[in-house]
Structure formats: structure tokens, C-alpha cells
Amino acid sequence: MTLLRLLARDAERLCEMAGVSITFPTRVGYKTLNRLHVHRVLSGFETGTQRGVAPESLRLGFDALADRYTLLGHPLSESPHVELITALERGTSPRDTEYARRLEAGTLSHGLPVAFDAKQVRREFAGREREIAAGMAQRVRTVMIEGSRYILDGKHRAAHSLRRAVPVDCVDCTPIIFESVFRYVYYVRPSRRAERFTKHLDVLRPVYERTASGAEPETLTSRT
């Protein structure tokens, strides 16, 4: 394990103990320590659940990575996550995937570079296989923008469901777009280096401009 990864692991633990999340700039974009804290915060913005959503209709969500690296807006069907699930299904090496390469380079998500753990990936895959085989719909947190659903949490669950051709339950968290930290991390800070973050800005600018003009926010997803 490299020194950077050791330091990152220790920093994550400290943030978890303190119950805080820290975001900072790197050469590939903005990184966040203690993403579990971020995911727990999401629960406060859930507005309802749309059941029976086709996973192929979903897009990858915000990762705070620069245009050269970001996966924002990519169809789930073309994502590294689906490539990973496909490799696991076929019994080929999951290490030889774009997913593993991006994970270790720090260009998969907000997270810092980490070593690819094939054993853990296979365990998680087997667990989801059992759930899907038992008829359990996988839960995915999303936001709706301009008619498209972006995944905030649950990319692996959505990818696995897509490969199994079963629908997912989408938990709508669209109000988080207007939360101050979300706006700062994904819009305000990237705006200061707009030439590097055009993809994030292009998705979010219409939302914030519409709100600033006094227009009603976009209708959220259907609830059940």
C-alpha cells in the first residue's frame, strides 16, 4: 500500500470519527473524505420512491471530476460499473476493467485512489445476486434534472439490475440540489475553473438560473 493510500485511509477514519466530510481540489477534480457521511445526509432529502424503473434509463451522477475524467451523464449501460458486473458474470478478471483502472487512478468517483480488492468485489456481487434472485428490487438514490435521472447512490446495484434485466426502485433526492454544500461542491467551486468543469456546469446551470429567476423548481419524480 502506497503512502498516499495509507494517509487517505487514516484521514477517512478521522473524518468518520468526527462525523464530518471534507472536500478538496486535486489534479483530476474535487475529492471527498468520508463519503458515508454524505450518503447518510442524503436520507434527509428523500421525497418518495418510484418503483419499477428501467435501469437502462438512468445516467451516472455527479462526481466532481474535471471534464477529462468525469462520468457525469454517461448512460448506465455504458458505464464502468456495468463492465465490472459483466466481467464478474463471465468469470473473467475484474482487474482488467476500466472500473479497476479508474478506481486505482482516482477517476471513478469522489474518492481518492484505492487498491482494487477483487475478493471484496466478488463478495458484494454474490450478495446482490442472492437479493435479486430472491426478487428484492435494488434501491437507487437519484435526482431528476431536465427529464433525466442521475444516480447519486447505488451505481453498482443499478448496474447489476441492468445486467439481470430487472427494474430498480428509485428514491428521489432531487431537493438536495438546492442544499448549500451540494451547490458549492458541484457548481460554485467548479465555476471558478469553468473551462475544466463544463459538463457539471452545463447540467446544473439551468437549474440554478431557473430558480434565481423565480421560476418553479422542476417537478420531482412520481412518489409511491
Rg (CA), the chain: 17
Q: What is the pLDDT of residues 167-191, one digit of tens each?
A: 999 999 999 999 988 898 899 999 9
219: in domain = no
Q: How many domains does the chain have?
A: 1
Alpha carbons 194 and 204: distance in angstroms, whole number = 12
113: in domain = yes
Alpha carbons 222 and 53: distance in angstroms, whole number = 11
Alpha carbons 89 and 201: distance in angstroms, whole number = 36
Chain centroid, CA 48 distance in Å: 19
Alpha carbons 103 and 17: distance in angstroms, whole number = 24
3-state SS of 1-45? CCHHHHHHHHHHHHHHHHCCCEEEEECCEEEEECHHHHHHHHHHH
Alpha carbons 141 and 187: distance in angstroms, whole number = 20
Q: What is the pLDDT of residues 23-58, one digit of tens each?
A: 889 999 998 776 655 666 888 999 999 999 999 999
Alpha carbons 203 and 174: distance in angstroms, whole number = 13
Beta strands in 108-224 (DSSP E): 139-145, 148-153, 168-172
| Residue 204 burial (C-beta neighbours within 10 Å; 0-12, 13-18, 19+) | buried
Alpha carbons 37 and 52: distance in angstroms, whole number = 28
Chain centroid, CA 134 distance in Å: 25
223: in domain = no
Sign of CA dihedral 29, 34, 55, 220: negative
Residue 143: CB atoms within 10 Å: 25
224: in domain = no
Question: What mean pLDDT do residues 210-216 have?
Answer: 71
70: in domain = yes
Residue-range definition of the domain harbouring residue 129: 3-212
12: in domain = yes
Reported as a pLDDT band with limits 50, 70 and 90, residue 19 is low
Q: What is the pLDDT of residues 112-168, one digit of tens each?
A: 888 999 999 999 999 999 999 999 999 999 999 999 999 999 999 999 999 999 999
pTM over 0.85: yes
208 in helix, strand or coil?
A: helix
Look-up of cell digits 482494487: 116
217: in domain = no
221: in domain = no
